[in-house]
Amino acid sequence: MPIPLDLLIAVSLGSVFMGAMTYIGNGPNFMVKAIAEENGVKMPSFFGYMGYSVCILLPILIVMTVIFL
């Protein structure tokens, strides 16, 4: 039974955009944060990063939802 293309697109977009919204949801984000803090660079907290990502990634997710809906 083939998987519907719309479902694959929705899962892909959700994982790409929503997974990047937290340090924990995206491994490279957490790794960059750890390396930067180890070298003395001030990084936003978990909730600070969430604030930045909500302002940038949530509107993108909404636009993608409208485009592919």
In the numeric block, the tokens 């997974």 are attached to 19
pLDDT at 36: 92
pLDDT tens for 8-40 read: 887 887 777 777 776 666 777 778 888 999 999
Closest CA to 61 of 9, 29, 18, 5: 18
In the numeric block, the tokens 């993608």 are attached to 64
CA 37/CA 61 separation, integer angstroms: 29
Q: Is the pTM of this model over 0.75?
A: no
pLDDT tens for 38-53 read: 999 998 888 888 888 8
pLDDT at 61: 78
